[in-house]
Structure 1
Amino acid sequence: MFSALQVIPVLLCCTLGEAITGGSRAAVSDFPYQISIWDSIGHPFCGGAIISSRWIITSATCAKVLENQFDGKIADGTPDASKPRTIRAISEKVIHPDYNSPPGNANIALIKVATDFYFDFYTQAVTFNNKTSPVPGDEGFVAGWGALHYNGPDSDELMYARMTVIEHSECKASLEGNYQLNADQFCAGQIGAGISTCTRDSGSPMTADNVLIGLVANNYCSYNGFPTPFTKVGHYRDWILSVAGV
């Protein structure tokens, strides 16, 4: 669902890329809803997506870092994290009340910026998944400024990958002993194939057919061939509406 402001339709991204850990460079027009979250010392550490003129969505993991930092910032409108087009102050953070109960559950949060986003070719709101869940075989795009590989450097350039949703039971078995995959989550990637998000990609959106379906909940940087767990955005559609009004 778009905000009341006029929003230009989001363009479908480019061509097939590799994982964000070594993937393909993105243009800002490919992911105009993509934002980076900066800490109080100006270091970008997480991703997220614009959902209206004043709200972005991200993971609770990312929002917790900012719990006592109202001088954190939101940067938008650029593929280069070191040269943001605009930086906005944060006025409110809302973490889902069920976060981490059980562990990893409800890893979703909303952040309100102090001034309106200006929607144009470079900055737009993403459309929503309306209470539906992705199914195995669905494909989507994920972008972020995360590390290029395990224990590697972060990328200043926005990178993207195409990822495929895999069976819940298959993913849960592959992560057993390392991560508790909950019912409100799904996995994407390819077990053993090295397609994964990495450090600093947490909170970044996954979209399918230009619709938001998930948020990066954890990162393994392709370590041991693990896939990426995502929070199902549609599972929390009513909560998002109650908080952000969209």
Structure 2
Amino acid sequence: MSQHHVVRMMFLLGSASTALLVGCGPQETVAPQESLGSERQEIVGGSDTSISTHPWQISFQSTSGGAFCGGSILNERWILTAQHCVYEGGFAVTSPSTVRIAAGSSKLSTMDSEGQIRFVDDVISFPGFAGVKKGKDVALLHLSKPLTFNGKVAPIALATAEDEAAGLTAPGVISTVTGWGDLSYNGSSPDALQAVDVPLLSHEDADAAYPEVITADQLGAGLIGVGGIDSCHGDSGGPLIVSKGSGKVLAGVVSWGSGCAAPAYPGMYARVSHFQPWISSFLKRSPTIRLNTTNQSGGEGAWKHYRVSIPSGLEVFNVHISGGTGDADLYVQHGSQPTEGSFTCRPYANGNGETCSIPHPAAGTWFISVLGYSSFSGLRVHATSY
């Protein structure tokens, strides 16, 4: 990834980068500017802040505690983050079995002792994502156990189209971005949560700053011609907030930018008001279990097949394999058993943590198949829908 197209996420050795970047065979090609793990991003030009002031902020981490992105609490079980934090190409997304969220502490070093740790059981991607510069950079995380709200853990409201029409995200409005991202381009990362105020830009000014066409679902922020304040590597998925009366609303999700705090290039954010109807439609939903089988085993080169019936009108169909030992590969296809050359989704990652997330699945029979890249045992095969 070049300096000029920074995806604002961070991977630590031993973190989810292993699952995202290392496969057991040929992988789906991701455009260089969208390659995950080669860049890091944090708040530039900000200062230490308290989680009590920003209680909706979470750290998105590997299960071992390596922080790589941020996110915002929407309710006890739902987190909003950036899609590029979970995207693995095609319909493949990060396996929930490899990640967790941490909330309730200003410092990463005290999250385990002072905060709340929650594991993720589903990842929901906004349909049609094709790289950060083309927008649609939002995703939802469903938690396996609800958060407990208090003064350091609390939800934030979503900006709506009505808020935008009322001028809450108008050019010149001062927004606040928070995160644990780098303090400068390729610089060090802080232990303490950082915050910085940045002015919002018009769509025309953001579009003029980049050679790419900036889609309407993106929001720019920064000091064009001055620089010095911005989100950066590691901040991806985190909140950009604006004031509404005596409270705050979530107006943006940290997405991408050229470098960090560069004078000519503003930070780019997913425009929350554009996605608010889609996001809100999930907040009262719970997953429907379509398949849940455990302790599965197989040999190298051997297939195991399962089938589920999917009704019409669903938003998303998620299929996971996780746990156990060895290396199993997940294949999913509608209407017929998948093969190595014919499938709707095949993550093809190392180990047994793989997930397919298929938006608006066709009604009918879906085949879920597992192929032993090497022998495997103790595998869980799990499918949900919303």
Contact kept in structure 2, 1:37 and 1:44, CA below 8 Å: yes
CA distance in 1, matches of 2:263, 2:131: 27
Q: Identify unmatched segments of 5+ residues in structure 1.
A: 1-18
Q: 1:95 aligns to what?
A: 125
For residues 5-44 of structure 1, what are the structure 2 equivalents within 5 Å? 20-44=43-67
AA in 1 matched with 2:182: A
- Give secondary structure in 2 for the equivalent of 1:240: helix
Q: 1:164 aligns to what?
A: 199
Contact kept in structure 2, 1:181 and 1:229, CA below 8 Å: no
AA in 2 matched with 1:155: P
Q: 1:241 aligns to what?
A: 280
Given the alignment, which residue of 158, 161, 175 partners 1:140? 175
Deviates more, 1:112-121 or 1:130-139: 130-139
Deviates more, 1:166-175 or 1:155-164: 166-175
Cα drift, residue 225 of structure 1 = 4.0
Cα drift, residue 237 of structure 1 = 1.4
Cα drift, residue 49 of structure 1 = 0.3
RMSD: 1.9
- Give secondary structure in 2 for the equivalent of 1:237: helix
AA in 2 matched with 1:229: M
CA distance in 2, matches of 1:244, 1:67: 21
Q: 2:256 aligns to what?
A: 218
AA in 2 matched with 1:195: I
For residues 34-183 of structure 1, what are the structure 2 equivalents within 5 Å? 34-64=57-87, 67-84=94-111, 85-100=115-130, 103-131=133-161, 132-133=163-164, 134-176=169-211, 179-183=212-216
CA distance in 2, matches of 1:32, 1:163: 20
Q: 1:200 aligns to what?
A: 234
AA in 1 matched with 2:229: I
| 1:148-172 Cα shifts (integer Å, max 9, x gaps) | 0011011111000111111211121
Call closer, same or farther: CA 1:79–1:205 in 2, change over 3 Å: same
Cα drift, residue 88 of structure 1 = 0.8
Call closer, same or farther: CA 1:232–1:172 in 2, change over 3 Å: same
Q: TM-score if structure 2 supplies the norm length?
A: 0.56
CA distance in 1, matches of 2:213, 2:284: 31
Call closer, same or farther: CA 1:113–1:156 in 2, change over 3 Å: same
- Give secondary structure in 2 for the equivalent of 1:28: coil
Call closer, same or farther: CA 1:201–1:90 in 2, change over 3 Å: same
CA distance in 1, matches of 2:134, 2:184: 24
Percent identity of the aligned residues? 31
CA distance in 2, matches of 1:192, 1:163: 13
Largest Rg, 1 or 2: 2
Call closer, same or farther: CA 1:187–1:91 in 2, change over 3 Å: same
Deviates more, 1:32-41 or 1:141-150: 32-41
CA distance in 2, matches of 1:82, 1:223: 30
Cα drift, residue 103 of structure 1 = 4.8
- Give secondary structure in 1 for the equivalent of 2:153: coil
CA distance in 1, matches of 2:222, 2:127: 29
CA distance in 2, matches of 1:165, 1:243: 28
Call closer, same or farther: CA 1:102–1:67 in 2, change over 3 Å: closer
Q: TM-score if structure 1 supplies the norm length?
A: 0.86
Q: Identify unmatched segments of 5+ residues in structure 2.
A: 1-41, 286-386
Contact kept in structure 2, 1:47 and 1:144, CA below 8 Å: yes
Name the one with the larger strand percent.
Answer: 2
Cα drift, residue 180 of structure 1 = 4.3
